[in-house]
Structure 1
């Protein structure tokens, strides 16, 4: 079984893209399963520029229907239809507002509406859905792998018959295992006010929007700041915080340094960033 989940940040900007940051798009890959979280304008081109393919994704997970998160969905679905003759599978909440771009009824999309509390199995990944406070119906996603076996200690594992080794490592028996078995878990807050730390607890990585530096502005527009994201990471006990969905108004370097005063292991995502999570 694979021991690594790969996250590729295709777009890390806010509602207004820049020459350095595109609209949101995050590709996750594990053991042959591909999930794309949000699909802003230009996501296909960004993927090509980064040397990856997204027309073979197993599904797209939409956090909500604001245009900066869905504008690239119709072009991607059209590519999937032309190359593979099938509809693109998309999961997400109801659009729920005239300020959102409802993509659920597009002919080239197979849309499944999800709500907080839902759990979905997609390929080798389990997706848990949580509520997010934003201007339109919005959700967060917690993505979990199956239980990954402990890593074998080569000095001792040879004593175990080959047919029994996986079972031994899944139990984490000592001295045969160097690492404990367990899941890889990542929590993605694509948009909205700060995540509930209880929903994040047990994850290795928290990907959290940090659209604004100013707290009052974040509250007014129902977004989060870098400091709020860092507080969630600290309370949840994650290993790594990745800040994304940055407005053109912010200073990424200052945000990173200030966030590190609250939580020490912080990365400010940029288009093209690759994060590998291993057990």
Structure 2
């Protein structure tokens, strides 16, 4: 079984893109499974420039249906249809506002509505859905791998019959196993007010929107600040916080330094960032 989950940040900007930051898009890869979280304008070109493909994604997970998170969806679905002759599977909350785009009726998209509390199995990954406080129906996603065996100690594992080794490593038996078995878990908040730390607990990585530096502005527009995201990371006990979905007003350097005063291990995402999580 693979021991590594990889995240490719295709787009890390806010509602207004810039020359350095595209609309939101995050590709998650584990074993043979690919998930694309949000699909902003230009997602296909972003993927090409970063040397990855999104034409074979198992599903797209939408945090919500604001245009900056879904503008690249129809072009992607068109390409998938042309190349593979299939519909693009998309999961997301209902689009029940005039400010959202309802994509559930498009012929090339197989839309599956999700609600907080849902759990979905997609390929080798398990996706848990949580509510997010935003202007429109919005969700967060917790993505988990299957249980990964402990690393074998070559000195002792030879004493275990070949057919039994996986079972031994999944139990983490000593002295045969050097590390404890367990899952890789990442939590993605693409938009909205701060995540509930209890929902994040047990994850190695928290990807959290940090659209604004000013809390008053963040509250007014139902977003989060870098300091609020850092507080969630501290309370949840993650290993790494990745800040994304930055407004064009944001100062990434200042945000990183200020966030590190609350939680020490912080990265401000940029388009093209690649994060590898190993177990």
1:161 Cα offset (Å): 1.1
**Distance across 2 between alignment mates of 1:26 and 1:267:** 15
What TM-score results when the alignment is normalised by the length of structure 2?
1.00
Task: Report the CA distance between 1:143 and its aligned residue.
Answer: 0.2
Question: Does residue 1:85 correspond to 2:65, yes or no?
Answer: no
Structure 1 CA distance for aligned equivalents of residues 193 and 185 of structure 2: 21
Partner of 1:58: 58
Unaligned runs of 5+ in 1: none
Cα displacement (A) at 1:156: 1.1
Structure 1 moving runs of 4+ over 2 Å: none
Deviation digits for residues 139-182 of structure 1 (CA, Å, limit 9, x no counterpart) = 00000000000011111111111111100000000111111000
Q: Distance in 1 between matches of 2:96 and 2:147?
A: 36
* Partner Cα separation in structure 1 for residue 228 and residue 102 of structure 2: 30
Secondary structure of 1:117's match? coil
Task: State the partner residue of 1:206.
Answer: 206
What is the deviation of 1:104? Answer: 1.5
For 1:201-226, what per-residue CA distance to the aligned partner results, in whole angstroms no more than 9, with x for missing partners? 00000000000000000000000000
Deviation of residue 108 (structure 1)? 0.5
Q: What SS does the aligned partner of 1:156 have?
A: helix
**Is 2:263 the partner of 1:267?**
no
Q: In structure 2, what is the Cα distance between the partners aligned to 1:194 and 1:140?
A: 10
**154-163 vs 239-248, which deviates more?**
154-163
- Report the counterpart of residue 18 of structure 2 in structure 1: 18
TM-score by length of 1: 1.00
Number of the residue aligned with 2:39: 39
Q: Secondary structure at the match of 2:199?
A: helix
CA RMSD of aligned residues (A): 0.4
Partner of 2:230: 230
